[in-house]
Amino acid sequence: MNIRKWVSLFFTTLIIGGAAGLVIGYLVEWRSYTDTIFDGKILNFIVSLLTLFGTGCLFSILSQMGFFAYLTIHRIGLGMFGSASLWSKVQLVFILFIFFDLVYFRYQAFGGKHQSIFTFFILPLALLIVSLFIALWKKQETNRYAFIPTLFFMFVVTVIEWLPVLKPNDLRWIWIMGVTLVICNAYQVLILHRLIQKT
């Protein structure tokens, strides 16, 4: 990895994040945006789209910070635990712990009197399935040792980056930020080995 490749990764992820935020944000509130067009408020519509794009760019920067933080933590973990096998087991424990937290604490905070805890499994299960898919993809393109680190990054780090909207439980922003983060994180982890491979 050199400066030119890092700058390229930064701006590519920035544009991907902006585009994802724009598209998901529009889909989440397409009715209000459509009403804005029909009401003749074109300028408001354009400003709203630019705001969504800018917000997506901010989420992509958060994603990149999480990515490089994980790369550092991964190297520290390998050194601390002495072997990739033991470090992988520790990461699996963290995945299970975060999964439990995402279900139980959200249920405690937002669960209604007659609301089942099983409805709070939907969000972590969806993220886990996507994370498993990305981890299998990464494993297929590189090697089997990449599976657990990719799964950890896609699940645990995404949840940590997602916390600002998970706490208020605003469904609109959970969708916009969550999908944008997943797309940016998946792009970075899948492109990394292509950037650092020897020519």
Q: How many CA atoms lie within 13 A of 153 on its CB side?
A: 29
> Which of 25-34, 75-84, 171-180 has the weakest average pLDDT?
25-34
Measured CA to CA in angstroms, residue 168 lies from 117, 136, 164 at distances of 18, 32, 7
Do the Cβ atoms of 102 and 124 come closer than 8 Å?
yes
pLDDT value for 44: 76
Residue 53 backbone zone (phi > 0: left; psi -120 to 50: alpha; other: beta): alpha
pLDDT single digits (tens) 57-86: 999 999 999 999 999 999 999 999 888 889
Angstrom distance (rounded) from CA 127 to CA 8 = 27
Q: How would residue 1 be classed by pLDDT, with cut points 50, 70 and 90?
A: low
Q: Please give the model's pTM, rounded to 2 decimal places.
A: 0.90
Q: Which residue has 């933590």 as its token pair?
A: 73
Q: How far apart are CA 13 and CA 2, in angstroms?
A: 16
Query: What is the model's pLDDT at position 199?
Result: 44
Cβ neighbours around 71 below 10 Å, total: 16
Report pLDDT for 115: 79
Those residues with Cβ within 8 angstroms of residue 87's Cβ, 6 or more apart along the chain or in another chain: 74, 77, 78, 80, 81
Q: What is the pLDDT of residues 83-137, one digit of tens each?
A: 888 999 999 999 999 999 999 888 888 877 777 888 889 999 999 999 999 999 9
**Coil, helix or strand at residue 159:** helix
- What value does the mean pLDDT of the chain take? 89
Q: What is the mean pLDDT of residues 157-162?
A: 96
* Res. 38: pLDDT tops 70: no
- Residue 33 has which token pair? 């945006």
Residue 37: the pLDDT is 56
**pLDDT the model gives residue 185:** 97
Rounded to 5°, angle at Cα 153 from 65 and 64: 20
